[in-house]
Homo-oligomer: A and B are copies of this chain.
């Protein structure tokens, strides 16, 4: 992992070249908002339309007024132009106002773009796979928030604080019924009896864009993917495991706690199909 002291970040807040937000913004006061994280390649955010669609869906779920999609698109282009490889994060909050938790009658959402430098994950994370641990903290369940990439992320922060070793790339999270849900920053797929499986996210977890793309890719390629509850026993018995998100694409898992796993043919096939082998 990086030992660089200060990664470069370029910010755009409500279309302006400033790096602050109101201290009364509900994003800060309550985590009242959503975010998207995207790869930038050759000056363009990848899968922009999918990220926009998820953002619009999330705003609908939380009752945040739809952001101006044209303004967002222009601002994203403006930030990414000339950047070969970067990570773009977009936060939408409900803006300021309202008395306590009560939402303002006429909210003016805040939009924050942050362009980060590309993370320096080792090349062999894609080639040989990553080492993964099982987290102790359990995800709470709430169908009203499940699937959304919202700003209430303390569970994931506490999970990520469970380990410090750079040898471990990710931690897996379970719900209170001991079903595995996701990684702290990624979604999870497993291969069992030649079948691709990914945890159902109706009670908790973030429904990632790359997860959607893998489910679709598995469908069109004839492989298929089962979306269902995945027990700890299912996880431990898996023949292959892989992690995905919009920045990393796909990482095979080569070690789960103490157990070695051989990155297998279905993972390789998916990585080729998604063109996400980091070439």
Contacts and interface: CB of A to CB of B under 8 A. Distances in A.
Interface in A126-152: 137-142, 144-145, 150-152
Contacts of A101: 153, 156-157, 159-160, 184-185
Interface string A164-197: 0000000000001000000011000000000000
B23 A185 contact: no
Contacts of A257: none
Nearest to A63: B161
Nearest to A4: B99
A140 B204 contact: yes
A161 B103 contact: yes
A154 B64 CA distance: 12
A62 interface: yes
Interface string A238-252: 000000000000000
B91 A29 contact: yes
Contacts of A114: 23-24
A1 to B, nearest CB: 7
The interface centre, meaning the residue of A22, A27, A62, A150 with most chain B CB atoms within 10 A of its CB, is A27
The bracket for how many chain A residues form the interface is 35 or more
A220 interface: no
Q: Top 9 nearest A-B pairs by Cβ distance? A: A140-B140, A31-B31, A152-B152, A20-B20, A30-B153, A140-B142, A101-B160, A28-B28, A101-B156
25 contacts: A1-B99, A2-B99, A7-B99, A9-B24, A18-B23, A19-B24, A21-B23, A24-B114, A28-B28, A28-B151, A29-B35, A29-B153, A32-B153, A32-B154, A100-B160, A100-B185, A101-B159, A102-B160, A103-B161, A137-B144, A142-B155, A145-B154, A145-B155, A150-B154, A151-B154
Given A26-B157, A101-B156, 18 more contacts: A1-B99, A2-B99, A19-B22, A27-B28, A28-B91, A29-B35, A30-B153, A30-B156, A100-B160, A100-B185, A101-B157, A101-B160, A103-B157, A103-B161, A138-B142, A141-B176, A152-B152, A152-B153
Interface of A: 1-2, 7, 9, 11, 13, 18-32, 35, 62-63, 91, 93, 99-103, 112, 114, 119, 137-142, 144-145, 150-161, 176, 184-185, 204
